[in-house]
């Protein structure tokens, strides 16, 4: 499939282009599928998905400024539905199934990443889940860190905005992510590790998980 001619916020000389071109083929799983993308930001991965002609794609984003940009970008595109909401708020009360869920550059911003994975698996019941997550060269390295502006917590966004929060986020190893997904009924079918993402020092891994066949006797 042809790489998109234009990606929002990415110039022809952007350092992000090698990352996007490398990961583009993995999004072929969305062809003719219904897709949910969590935290699309400017729409980088959205464009990768759209290039494979999905049946539809729903974007859930909680930042009003990003919503405005997305509305301008996808105005008139009848395949794209944009929802402003917090995923912790939206999924529990909207039990809508999707064929594919895209969760790129998102999971590590949550202080309860396992709960988010449970919500995706149980509320959306996707066949395939695409996850981009920071790469660690150290196997089984799990961390807890403080990140004032990077943590997305339901209490802050929606329910009790004055609530005190733990404000800690969990970094999980690739092995632990794989184990968590296995417990949810998904097997790892594609993995690309140690991908440079732009000029940042952060490197990422791209995981493609597929639901186990119901006849699979693990």
Domains of the chain listed by start with CATH number:
17-211 (3.40.50.150)
Q: What is the pTM of this model?
A: 0.91
Is the pLDDT score of 217 beyond 90? no
| pLDDT tens digits, 104-142 | 988 888 878 899 999 999 999 999 999 999 998 888 888
If you average pLDDT over every residue of the chain, what do you get?
88
- Residue range 52-79, pLDDT digits in tens: 999 999 999 988 889 999 999 999 999 9
pLDDT (0 to 100) of residue 44 = 95
How does residue 208 score in pLDDT terms, banded at 50, 70 and 90?
A: very high
Query: Which of 31-40, 93-102, 158-167, 209-218 shows the lowest mean pLDDT across its residues?
Result: 158-167
**What are the tens digits of pLDDT across the range 3-59?**
998 899 898 888 899 999 999 999 999 999 999 999 998 999 999 999 999 999 999
Q: Which long-range contacts (CB under 8 A, 24 or more apart) does 154-161 make?
A: 154/86, 154/88, 154/89, 157/62, 157/86, 157/88, 157/89, 158/86, 158/88, 158/89, 159/89
Whether the pLDDT of residue 205 is over 50: the answer is yes
Which residues have C-beta within 8 Å of that of residue 68, sequence separation ≥ 6?
none
């Amino acid at each position: 499939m042809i790489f998109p001619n234009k990606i929002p916020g990415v110039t022809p000389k952007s350092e992000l282009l090698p990352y996007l071109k490398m990961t583009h083929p993995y999004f072929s799983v969305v062809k003719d599928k219904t897709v949910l993308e969590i935290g699309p930001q400017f729409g980088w991965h959205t464009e990768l998905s759209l290039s494979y002609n999905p049946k539809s794609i729903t974007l859930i984003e909680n930042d009003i400024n990003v919503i405005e940009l997305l509305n301008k970008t996808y105005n008139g595109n009848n395949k794209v539905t944009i929802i402003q909401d917090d995923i912790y708020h939206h999924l529990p009360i909207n039990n809508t199934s999707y064929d594919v869920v895209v969760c790129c550059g998102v999971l590590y911003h949550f202080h309860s990443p396992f709960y988010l994975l449970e919500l995706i698996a149980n509320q959306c019941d996707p066949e395939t889940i695409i996850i981009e997550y920071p790469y660690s060269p150290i196997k089984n390295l799990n961390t807890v860190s403080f990140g004032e502006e990077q943590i997305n917590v339901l209490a802050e966004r929606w329910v009790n905005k004055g609530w005190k929060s733990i404000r800690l986020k969990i970094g999980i190893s690739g092995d632990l992510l794989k184990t968590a997904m296995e417990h949810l009924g998904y097997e790892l079918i594609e993995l690309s590790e140690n991908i440079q993402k732009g000029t940042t020092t952060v490197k990422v891994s791209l995981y493609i998980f597929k639901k186990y066949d119901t006849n699979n006797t693990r």
